[in-house]
Structure 1
Amino acid sequence: MIRDLWLIGIGTGSPRHVTLEGAQALRDAAAILLPLKAGKDDLAHLRRRILDASGSTARIVPFDYPVRDESLPYQDRVAAWHDEIARRWQAAFDAPPDGPVALLVWGDPSLYDSTLRIAERLEPRPRVRVVPGITAIQALTAAHAIPLNTVNGPVTITTGRRLHDEGWPPGADTIVVMLDAECRFRDLDPAGLHIWWGAYLGSEDQILRSGPVAETADDILATRQAARERHGWIMDTYLLRRAP
């Protein structure tokens, strides 16, 4: 039923993070799929703010976002979740849309986001267009006014789960950690380790912390927990770098 699917990166919550191409795509789309997550009304509100700022007049088609089945093994849990999201995208329409359907993707559809993988589950397969957006990594390094890499140095992008399971990546002097609800930097030897952390990047609620891990870990943990309780959700990421 969805013939043309546009995945539009919207940055990390600020309408100013949407590129000119992204704003034009939002204006050109016939319908916008809007996920509704229990207890996270602010996320839907932010999406609507972005649509208003872009000048979009597209029909908004809401759908209830499913939750993962935590009883399943991780890979099976994610696969079943993606299957259900794809089903709900299609079920949201009672008739084929009369033009492109757009989804607003936090950050960028290319970086630790599964929207492209979910789109592959649709039958028949739609024509997919991707409009890149500001990534959380760009927003983080800009907010702290730091370069992503050292001179001629490698950068590893990983998750909190892998940091916990595998430790510091071999050969890395800079790592960016995403999707870390447990603040796994606390599992590392803090000697010589510096952190730049940020939440709600680019928004009026932006929070930043930086410093030696040994001195800032407890503050980041407490700040993160308080912010999550206040807003009901949190999106954060951090960069770690070892002193030479």
Structure 2
Amino acid sequence: MTIPSVRKLMVIGVGVGDPDFVTVQAVNALNAVDVFFVLDKGPAAADLARARQAICEKFITHDRYRTVTVTDPVRDRGAADYPDAVRRWRDERAERLEKVIDAELDAHGVGGFLVWGDPSLYDGTIRVIETIIDRGALTVDYEVIPGISSVQALAARHRIAVNRVAGAVHVTTGRRISQGLPDDADDVVVMLDADLACAAYRDEDIDIYWGAYLGTADEILVAGRLGEVIDHIAQTRADLRQRKGWIMDTYLLRRHPVPPFQ
């Protein structure tokens, strides 16, 4: 009986910048990979490429692996139907990756994707792999290795807990809070906010805990009343983006007053 060939894919969360965030489970997964597939996002992401390479050099104990780079398709960030634009972008990613996995990974080989932070939190790699599986042209299996997320790193660097006693935590995007803050959560973690949508709430009784390039040598933190520090954050963010060509940041908004049972 012929056993069907199944390529194995490892989606490996490697934390946010600091190699010390890489878990033992992730190290074991890194050493199991034959081919790493990397989406090339252009010169602006060169720092991330170097950080990825440094992680591999630090933790992989053999030289049998190799890296295959795939040009990342351009996403239409200004589309009127944003969810549809994301789906089309994801489908194009899946098509490109499907071709290189088929061409570069042996029938019983192990392919790897290094994901910043955690693969389950605002990352599309799992959905892309599911799209490849749904297309039916390749038989693949995959495993997800969790990582230290930017939310965890942000809270640790600011020495806070994300939640308060009996309180809800809402994790969302800048695009969503530009339409209003949630009514049912006093602690709101915001990711993927290219325009600092929180500035619209500068007159409300809110604290902000902000961090950029978390876990790297360029890490910078700002905390305080939103109305008092938002202009400083905006200027700092603009200067950093100009200097480095890219920025990765996230923040927690915390409403006041603190509930009386705390």
Asked if TM exceeds 0.5, the reply is yes
Q: Which runs of 4+ in 1 moved over 2 A?
A: 69-73, 90-98
Contact 2:105 2:111 in 1 (8 A): no
Structure 2 counterpart of 1:219, which letter?
A: H
Post-superposition CA distance 1:164-219 (Å, at most 9, x none): 12x11012110100010010111125332100000010111101001001100000
1:99 aligns with 2:106: no
1:63 to 70, 81, 93: 70
1:219 to 213, 217, 232: 232
Contact 1:195 1:238 in 2 (8 A): yes
Post-superposition CA distance 1:119-173 (Å, at most 9, x none): 11113352110000001100000011111111221111111001012x1101211
Q: What is the aligned residue count?
A: 243
Higher mean Cα deviation, 138-147 or 124-133?
Answer: 124-133
Partner of 2:146: 132
In 2, Cα distance between equivalents of 1:125 and 1:229: 43
Per the normalisation by structure 1, the TM-score is: 0.94
Deviation at 1:50, TM superposition (A): 1.0
Deviation at 1:95, TM superposition (A): 4.3
Structure 1 counterpart of 2:52, which letter?
A: R
Higher mean Cα deviation, 133-142 or 81-90?
Answer: 81-90
Change (3 A) 1:22 1:81: same
Identity among equivalent pairs (%): 43
Per the normalisation by structure 2, the TM-score is: 0.88
Partner of 2:127: 117
Structure 1: unaligned runs, 5 residues or longer: none
In 1, Cα distance between equivalents of 2:111 and 2:214: 27
1:239 aligns with 2:252: yes
Change (3 A) 1:60 1:177: same
Contact 2:11 2:145 in 1 (8 A): yes
Contact 2:11 2:119 in 1 (8 A): yes
Structure 2 counterpart of 1:22, which letter?
A: A
Is the radius of gyration larger for structure 1 or structure 2? 2
Partner of 1:8: 12
Structure 2: unaligned runs, 5 residues or longer: 258-262
Structure 2 counterpart of 1:92, which letter?
A: V
Alignment RMSD (CA, Å): 1.6
SS in 2 for 1:121: helix
Structure 2 counterpart of 1:43, which letter?
A: L
Partner of 1:158: 172
In 2, Cα distance between equivalents of 1:135 and 1:38: 23
